[in-house]
Amino acid sequence: MTRQPQSVRPILSFLDKAGHRASAERFALLSQIEKEGSISAAAKQLKISYKAAWDAVNALNNLFSTPLVDAKPGGKKGGGATLTDEGRKALIAHQHLTERLNAFLAEIEQDICGNRGSSPLSSPLLWSFAMRTSARNVFHGIVEDVITGAVNSEISLRVSEQTVLTTVITNKSAETLDLRVGSEAFALIKASTPVLMADNEDARLSARNQIRGTVSSVEPGAVNSEIQLDIGNSKTLTVVITRQSTESLDIKPGDKMCAIIKASQIILGVE
């Protein structure tokens, strides 16, 4: 049986190279999805909302280069979900590392303090903080092209087989981030940034990013609505627009939509 530390409880999160977190709570959700076979049942077991569970699944699938969950929306009582091979590997790795971390901390605590009282491990000075971002959309990708101009650089980032994001940043920023073809980067997009329109391949627009997808969910609020757009390869784009716009466009699940994003509105990040 794994010995437990007395004064602190380790919480293991996975961090990507840019510092974005896959928290212990999200791995708990993966574990319940594996047991229950659906997101709604997993959410019930964890006492979280169905929407919160779906948001977590979408965030995980966007964050990892290979999706961890294969899910089919079906409302609060329908649909199914299973972990992919990569999802099971990630879950097992998290479980094993957590067990070893528990044992490791228990040994350190015993060595440092013995029976002399509280452990210095409880000091907040010994714990580091992982970066968090307010952007709802965080996509991992590989740089496909870098075009350097007099002042700015145009970066093409492939985030899935179907989607390449184009962003414009200053040459100085490109140098600081050391962006080059083949390097990994993360694209951050605020949910309020994209403009939604009905999918029309004949439309001619100046915006470089025209991301097509299928509406998977619509969550109306008093003022704004949150739209989830399935853009393929288990990637989801979250868009927030006014409720009036949602009603004017008559947006509903299953609709084909196009998200318009200016190249200057995408933030790039690296390790």
Q: For the segment 185-227, what is each residue's pLDDT rounded down to a tens digit? A: 989 999 999 999 988 767 788 888 999 999 999 999 999 999 9
Largest CA distance in the chain: 74
Could you tell me if 79 and 118 lie in one domain? yes
* Other beta carbons within 10 Å of 100: 13
Write out the E strands in the chain. Answer: 14-15, 21-22, 69-72, 80-83, 137-148, 152-158, 164-170, 184-189, 195-198, 209-220, 224-232, 235-242, 256-261, 267-269
Tell me the pLDDT band of 260, cut-offs 50, 70 and 90. Answer: very high
Q: How many CA atoms lie within 13 A of 2 on its CB side?
A: 13
Could you tell me if 179 and 215 lie in one domain? yes
Judge whether 82 and 41 are in contact, CB under 8 Å: no
3-state secondary structure 81-130: EEECHHHHHHHHHHHHHHHHHHHHHHHHHHHHHCCCCCCHHHCHHHCCCC
* Residue 165 DSSP SS3: strand
Q: What is the pLDDT of residue 24?
A: 77
Angle at 243 between CA 239 and CA 244, to 5 degrees: 120
Could you tell me if 19 and 126 lie in one domain? yes
* Beta-bridge partners for 258: 197, 212
Angle at 267 between CA 128 and CA 221, to 5 degrees: 90
Task: Determine the average pLDDT of the residues in 73-95.
Answer: 78
Domain of 29: which CATH number? Answer: 1.10.10.10
Could you tell me if 165 and 97 lie in one domain? no
Could you tell me if 150 and 185 lie in one domain? yes
Domain boundary among the residues 114, 132, 150 is at 132
Could you tell me if 42 and 103 lie in one domain? yes
Identify the residue whose tokens are 């971390």: 101
Q: For the segment 128-159, what is each residue's pLDDT rounded down to a tens digit? A: 233 345 678 989 899 999 999 999 999 999 99
Q: What is the pLDDT of residue 21?
A: 55
Q: For the segment 159-187, what is each residue's pLDDT rounded down to a tens digit? A: 998 899 999 999 999 998 999 999 999 89
Task: Determine the average pLDDT of the residues in 108-134.
Answer: 45
Could you tell me if 18 and 120 lie in one domain? yes
Could you tell me if 79 and 145 lie in one domain? no
Count the domains in the chain. Answer: 2
Q: Give the H or E element holding residue 236.
A: strand 235-242
Tell me the pLDDT band of 4, cut-offs 50, 70 and 90. Answer: very low
Could you tell me if 28 and 154 lie in one domain? no
Task: Determine the average pLDDT of the residues in 104-133.
Answer: 47
pLDDT surpassing 60 at residue 77: no
Could you tell me if 62 and 23 lie in one domain? yes
- Cβ contacts of 123 within 8 Å, gap of 6 or more: none
Could you tell me if 128 and 223 lie in one domain? no
pLDDT surpassing 60 at residue 123: no
Position 252, amino acid:
K
Q: What is the pLDDT of residue 121?
A: 43
Q: For the segment 222-257, what is each residue's pLDDT rounded down to a tens digit? A: 999 999 999 988 899 999 999 999 999 999 999 999
Q: Which of 214, 187, 231, 234 has the alpha carbon at shortest distance from 86? A: 234
Q: For the segment 32-68, what is each residue's pLDDT rounded down to a tens digit? A: 999 999 999 999 999 999 999 998 898 888 888 788 9
- Cβ contacts of 111 within 8 Å, gap of 6 or more: none
Tell me the pLDDT band of 111, cut-offs 50, 70 and 90. Answer: low
Judge whether 237 and 192 are in contact, CB under 8 Å: no
pLDDT surpassing 50 at residue 125: no
Domain boundary among the residues 132, 149, 167 is at 132
Q: What is the pLDDT of residue 79?
A: 60
Domain with 76, as residue range(s), is: 1-132
Domain boundary among the residues 86, 109, 132 is at 132
Domain of 244: which CATH number? Answer: 2.40.50.100
* Beta-bridge partners for 157: 143, 165
Could you tell me if 123 and 1 lie in one domain? yes
Q: Which of 45, 8, 51, 14 has the alpha carbon at shortest distance from 29? A: 45
Tell me the pLDDT band of 5, cut-offs 50, 70 and 90. Answer: very low
